[in-house]
Structure 1
Amino acid sequence: MIVDDEEVIRLGLEKIISRMDLDVQVIGSYGNGMDALNRLSKTDPGEVDCLITDIKMPMMDGLRLIEHVRDKMDRIAIIVLSGFSEFEYARQALRFGVMDYLLKPIDKMQLYELLKNLKNKNAGGNDTRAAEAVEGTGDLSDHEAGEHYVVDQIKGFLDKEYDKNFELERLVETTGMSPSYISRLFKNKTGHTITDYLIEVRIEKAKQFLIDHPDLKNYQISQLVGYSDPVYFNKLFKRMVQMTPKDYKKRNAK
């Protein structure tokens, strides 16, 4: 069952799921938690294996829906849809033993793996709690799940805002965590500093621009990926790719 107040997201998820080779059926699609809960209350046990729900919705939000489902239908696995600005809501949802969360825009492969693991678990007749449907996920504490969520959110933020001047304070405001904690957490979980990750994202974007838009000048690409100094960008690119942007463009010319 899919619950999200944005119709385009519901329809998109239905289309993605219908094209998967998992024999998974969407039995309901609703724009708020109240309608979804009314439908769920009329289903037979085992009819719904998985609930995919947004957090912020009219009439009844995702948190209240999850709370009701966990109270009366604890075998249903729950996947939370989340935007970067909804960290605190998602952190609360994790306390209800949700299976996992999906960042918007939806990663098709992540959704596929979640549903595949859930289906395999159910097919095996395992009677463990639905919140443990994904291997290892059920063993995570709320704290660990929250840390995993924060790191993914930081990556999503950097992937989207790579062309802007990076200010750690913006992440601090969004997550409500201290700069030192965020930096340490990201390094511990990924093996990279936030700055190193941002550089990698920017250089990958620069490679794309060099190949897809060969008419762009070096200084233009430098600005497009967040560097105001083209000389610095050139040195950084050479250090990361082992060749200059100009040589990279020649080697990969279409």
Structure 2
Amino acid sequence: MYRVLLVEDERVILDGLRELIIQTAPEFLVIGEASGGTEALDFMRSNVPDVLITDIRMREMDGLTLVSKAREMYPELLMIVISGYGEFEYARRAMEYGVLNYLLKPVELQEWVTAIHKIQLLLNRRYGVSSSQTLDTTREAQCNSGDTRKTIRDVKEYIRLHPDGDLRLQTIAALVHLNPTYLSQLFKNETGITFSEYIAEVRMERAKWLLVNTQLKIYDVARLSGHQSPKHFMLVFKQQVGWTAGEYRNRFSRDKQL
């Protein structure tokens, strides 16, 4: 699922946005809620959302200040601004910070669906997910050759989207209604590598991306890329990459390239 951070200082509106996501955007998960910009920035220092949805008018930090600071923190973060104020200046400044949509309260359902669909397409493209595919949890247990390829493709996409999730073979096998041993064999036959090797590759690539594109602490990078032990992560990273995580960040970070 794609991760969403909601920022709104009115509890009724915040609850309404969360419910709207549940009803209209099943591929999105609210991982954090904040009542203001400072709280939101604190949350983002140890968590990486895919999407930031924020109000413009808040008491201790306005939404435009928040999106400008969030853009500095995560240059690729996708953002939606929601406001009860229709002044052109707010919309113009929001777009300058790379905000994808500026929606007015009360949010109309069709405008919301259009905005969230646009964001899902962008995220699908970013993570290499086919927009016409989701993990199919109702497929038949037996697969013909074409179904086998689709099953493994869907499993790979699920792993790429959830590197820090529960990726045990038994868990994924249950999602696609296959015997774990059978799924393991299918995966090796179709990809040429084992299920666990693929997960390790995905998690390492996620860790590299976080190191280059964020300023998260190393233990947060380890956690968000699915490595439960920061010490083990640092050891494995050095063995596989040839540099420590800190050395890799210093060599390839976005700030170094600018």
State the TM-score bracket (shorter-chain normalisation).
0.3 to 0.5
Q: Please report the TM-score for the alignment, with normalisation by the length of structure 1.
A: 0.47
